[in-house]
């Protein structure tokens, strides 16, 4: 029997039935009330705030398109790049967005495999966030090259010149890693969406019903369908899991395989992955807190969920902090004066301000989550999550720019200052992200209905036996 057809009224005794287990959904929700709640968001009239936010996001998107247009017309010179610093904000933004794109798949795949049921409250929009963040990220390597119109040379397309891309180049690995990650994440997200799309379809009429029906792929909620579905989902989770670790590891090799002091370090892959999870959770937190407030989802995304996320932020933040300190130790321990200077220069050189912003935001801020009270305070966690986002952007800035600006030969040292176009492109990428994200909130169920329902006591087949009698 499909869960869609479960009886609407919640059994009063059900709550007690799972006593001992923590309830993941509060507020006495039933299957039906959950369906109403979540489907209602996309079915009811769009709130005023949405239009306001969407207008802002589209404006940002226009800024992005304008900046890219000018970039293609004029050349990369419109950015603040110079000779030692060949990579600036574009690459910083790329790594930043890829990092953000980590939380979604981590939440949906790894936590799924680890049977962390609390993930169900946030996994849908964390995955959506992942996809949109990866789209933002993928854009940057495309536009940052000098001859955008030839960027396709990077793909292994058979051609009359009989030239393949250079498989030794980490940039090429990058493309494969990120594109694969994007593909698998999108598939995973879509597969997760199917039952919910069917729910929406069943509640809709006319054209809307047809369109939703098309994307719901004929889902009826049959037992067999569920069986296949669960298997497919598990397999995709298994596939996505290594990708979560690999994609940022590969991004890290962009830096780690070079010989520039400050880039050339073996700690980069794990350190980048930890940082990516850290920043991803920071972003999910920011978005979740806003969406929860606007759409009144306090019952589904509960304080317990948020606290768990804060714990992850604390752990990954500390891992990142450990990496920062370890980098310094190794730089000193290696006895390599170039390496040593690269790190001293980060902390005390002309970019010290950026380094200390990074350090404060990423290492100090999460430490407040040692305290339960702060871990459960909405305003505190909101501010902290913003700090995490800022700090992680600066981490990429510090790594990319400080290392390049002062490498081996002092004659070539130069200071990098971004231009207005660097900034507008970055701001514009948020426009792109939020345009997608708001459209997602408007048209798709932002909570994984089917999965959340699965965490309700009623979903437990033995629920009705627990009190010793059938009702």
Partner 1 sequence: MSSNTTKSVQDKTYWRSLDHLAETPEFKELVEKEFPEGASELTNPVSRRKFLSLMGASMALAGLTSCRRPVEKIIPYVVKPEEIIPGKPQYYATNMPFGTQSFGLLVESHEGRPTKIEGNKNHPGTGGASNVFMQAEMLNLYDPDRSKLILKNGRASSWRAFTAVMKNELEKHQENGGEGLAVLTESFTSPTLKRLSEEFGRRYPKASWVSYDSISDENIQAGLTAASDNSALPGYDFSKAKVILSLDSDFMQMESDDLQNARGFASGRRVESEDDTMNRLYVVEGTYSLTGGMADHRLKVQSGQIATFTAALAGELAAQGLAIGAPEVNTSFDKEWLKAVVADLLANKGQSLIVAGKRQPAHVHTLVALINEILENSGSTVNYHENQDMIGSSLESLVSLTNDMRSGKIKTLVILGGNPAYQAPSDLKFAEALRRVAFTAQVSLQVDETAKHVDWHIPAAHFLESWGDVSGSGGAGIIQPLIAPLFDGKSAIEMAGVLLGNDEMSGYEMVQETWKGILGKNNFEKKWRRVVHDGYTDISRERAVAINKSRAQASVDASDYNSTPASPEKMEVVFTASFSNLDGRYANNGWMQELPDPITKVTWDNVALMSVNTANTLNVKNEKLVKIQKDQDEIILPVWILPGIADNTVVVELGFGRHVGRVSNGVGVDVNPLRKSTAPTFAAGFTVRRASGEHSIACVQDNHGLDEEKLASDAIQDRLPVIVRESTMDDYQRDPAFAMGLAEKEELRSMWVEHDYGEGNQWGMTIDLNTCSGCSACTIACQSENNIPIIGKEEVSNGRDMSWIRLDRYFSGDVEDPEMVFQPVACQHCEMAPCEGVCPVAATTHSSEGLNEMAYNRCIGTRYCSNNCPYKVRRFNFFNYSKDMPEIIQMAMNPDVSVRFRGVMEKCTYCVQRINVAKIEAKNDDRELVDGDITTACEQACPTNAIVFGNINDPESRVSKLKAQNRDYALLGELNVQPRTSYGAKLRNPNPALVDGGHADGGHA
Least Å from the CB of residue 255 to partner 1: 9
Among 26, 59, 169, 304, which residue interacts with partner 1 (rule: CB under 8 A)? 169
Determine if 145 is a binding residue for partner 1 (CB under 8 A). yes
What mask of x and - would describe binding to partner 1 in positions 114 to 143, judged by CB under 8 A? ---------------------------x--
Dig out the tokens for 182 from the structure. Answer: 């994007």
Max CA distance (Å), the chain:
84
Determine if 350 is a binding residue for partner 1 (CB under 8 A). yes
| Size of the residue set binding partner 1 (CB under 8 A) | 58
Asked if 428 and 63 touch (Cβ cutoff 8 Å), the reply is yes
Dihedral over alpha carbons 370, 373, 379, 381 (to 10 degrees): 20
Whichever of 79 and 369 has its CB closer to partner 1, that residue is 79
Whichever of 38 and 398 has its CB closer to partner 1, that residue is 398
Determine if 154 is a binding residue for partner 1 (CB under 8 A). yes
Determine if 166 is a binding residue for partner 1 (CB under 8 A). yes
Among 230, 337, 371, 465, which residue interacts with partner 1 (rule: CB under 8 A)? 337
Dig out the tokens for 197 from the structure. Answer: 């799309």
Site for partner 1 in 69-108 (CB under 8 A): 73-78, 80-87
Least Å from the CB of residue 73 to partner 1: 7
Determine if 404 is a binding residue for partner 1 (CB under 8 A). yes
Dist CA 287 CA 98 (whole Å): 17
- Pick the piece of the chain touching partner 1 (CB under 8 A) from 58-66, 67-75, 320-328, 389-397: 67-75
Site for partner 1 in 217-276 (CB under 8 A): 254, 257-260
Site for partner 1 in 287-326 (CB under 8 A): none
Among 51, 164, 333, 371, which residue interacts with partner 1 (rule: CB under 8 A)? 164
Least Å from the CB of residue 346 to partner 1: 11
Least Å from the CB of residue 137 to partner 1: 16
- The DSSP result for 211-243, as a single string, is HHHHHHTT----HHHHHHHHHHHHHHHHHHHHH
Determine if 424 is a binding residue for partner 1 (CB under 8 A). no
Whichever of 145 and 211 has its CB closer to partner 1, that residue is 145
Whichever of 1 and 409 has its CB closer to partner 1, that residue is 409
User: Over the Cα atoms of the chain, what is R_g?
Assistant: 24
Stated as kind and residue range, the H or E segment containing 145 is: none
Least Å from the CB of residue 324 to partner 1: 19
Q: What is the DSSP letter of 311?
A: H
Determine if 172 is a binding residue for partner 1 (CB under 8 A). yes
Using CA atoms, how far residue 43 sits from 35, 125, 297, 441, in Å, is 11, 18, 16, 11
- Nearest residue to 174 (alpha-carbon basis) of 211, 204, 214, 145: 145
Side-chain-facing half-sphere of 457: CA atoms under 13 Å: 22
Helical packing angle, 268-295 and 378-397, nearest 10°: 140
Dig out the tokens for 364 from the structure. Answer: 């100090």
Among 12, 44, 48, 150, which residue interacts with partner 1 (rule: CB under 8 A)? 150
Whichever of 355 and 433 has its CB closer to partner 1, that residue is 355
Dist CA 252 CA 101 (whole Å): 15
- What are the helix (H) ranges across 145-222? 170-203, 206-216
Among 159, 183, 298, 412, which residue interacts with partner 1 (rule: CB under 8 A)? 412
Among 22, 414, 420, 467, which residue interacts with partner 1 (rule: CB under 8 A)? 414
Least Å from the CB of residue 419 to partner 1: 9
Q: What is the DSSP letter of 11?
A: P
Determine if 146 is a binding residue for partner 1 (CB under 8 A). yes
Specify the long-range contacts of residues 15-22, CB closer than 8 Å, at least 24 apart: 15/457, 16/467, 17/457, 17/460, 17/463, 17/466, 17/467, 18/457, 18/460, 18/463, 18/466, 22/304
Spatial neighbors of 5 by CB under 8 A, at least 6 apart, are none
Helical packing angle, 123-144 and 170-203, nearest 10°: 140
Among 9, 19, 21, 147, which residue interacts with partner 1 (rule: CB under 8 A)? 147
Whichever of 60 and 349 has its CB closer to partner 1, that residue is 349
Least Å from the CB of residue 338 to partner 1: 7
Whichever of 362 and 425 has its CB closer to partner 1, that residue is 425
Dig out the tokens for 388 from the structure. Answer: 């995490």
Q: What is the DSSP letter of 257?
A: T
Determine if 341 is a binding residue for partner 1 (CB under 8 A). yes
Whichever of 377 and 405 has its CB closer to partner 1, that residue is 405
Binding residues (CB under 8 A) for partner 1: these are 73-78, 80-87, 141, 144-148, 150-151, 153-154, 163-166, 168-172, 175, 254, 257-260, 337-338, 341, 344-345, 348-350, 404, 406-415
């Amino acid at each position: 029997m499909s869960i869609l057809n479960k009886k609407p009224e919640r059994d009063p005794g059900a709550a007690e039935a799972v006593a001992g287990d923590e309830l993941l959904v509060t507020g006495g929700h039933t299957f039906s009330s959950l369906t109403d709640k979540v489907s209602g968001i996309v079915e009811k009239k769009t709130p005023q705030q949405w239009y306001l936010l969407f207008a802002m996001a589209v404006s940002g998107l226009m800024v992005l398109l304008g900046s890219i247009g000018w970039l293609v017309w004029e050349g990369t010179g419109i950015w603040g790049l110079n000779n030692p610093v060949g990579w600036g904000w574009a690459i910083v933004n790329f790594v930043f967005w890829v990092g953000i794109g980590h939380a979604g798949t981590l939440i949906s795949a790894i936590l799924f495999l680890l049977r962390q049921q609390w993930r169900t409250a946030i996994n849908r929009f964390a995955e959506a966030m992942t996809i949109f963040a990866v789209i933002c990220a993928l854009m940057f390597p495309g536009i940052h090259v000098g001859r955008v119109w030839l960027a396709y040379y990077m793909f292994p397309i058979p051609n009359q010149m009989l030239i393949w891309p250079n498989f030794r180049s980490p940039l090429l690995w990058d493309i494969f890693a990120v594109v694969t990650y994007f593909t698998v994440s999108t598939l995973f997200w879509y597969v997760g969406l199917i039952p919910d799309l069917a729910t929406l379809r069943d509640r809709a009429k006319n054209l809307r019903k047809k369109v939703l029906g098309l994307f719901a792929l004929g889902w009826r909620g049959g037992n067999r369908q569920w069986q296949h579905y669960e298997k497919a989902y598990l397999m995709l989770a298994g596939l996505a899991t290594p990708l979560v670790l690999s994609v940022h590891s590969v991004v890290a090799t962009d830096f780690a395989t070079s010989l520039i002091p400050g880039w050339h370090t073996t700690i980069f892959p794990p350190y980048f992955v930890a940082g990516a999870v850290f920043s991803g959770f920071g972003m999910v937190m920011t978005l979740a807190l806003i969406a929860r407030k606007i759409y009144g989802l306090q019952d589904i995304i509960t304080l317990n969920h948020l606290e768990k996320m804060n714990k992850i932020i604390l752990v990954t933040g500390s891992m990142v902090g450990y990496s920062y300190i370890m980098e310094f130790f190794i730089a000193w321990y290696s006895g390599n004066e170039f390496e040593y200077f690269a790190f001293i220069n980060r902390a005390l050189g002309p970019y010290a301000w950026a380094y200390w912003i990074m350090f404060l935001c990423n290492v100090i801020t999460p430490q407040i989550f040692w305290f339960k009270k702060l871990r459960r305070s909405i305003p505190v966690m909101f501010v902290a999550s913003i700090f995490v986002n800022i700090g992680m952007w600066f981490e990429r800035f510090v790594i990319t720019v400080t290392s390049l600006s002062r490498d081996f030969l002092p004659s070539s040292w130069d200071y990098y200052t971004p231009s207005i176009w660097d900034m507008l492109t970055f701001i514009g990428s948020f426009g792109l992200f939020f345009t997608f994200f708001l459209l997602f909130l408007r048209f798709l169920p932002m909570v994984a209905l089917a999965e959340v329902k699965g965490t309700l006591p009623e979903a437990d087949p033995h629920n009705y036996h627990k009190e010793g009698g059938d009702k």
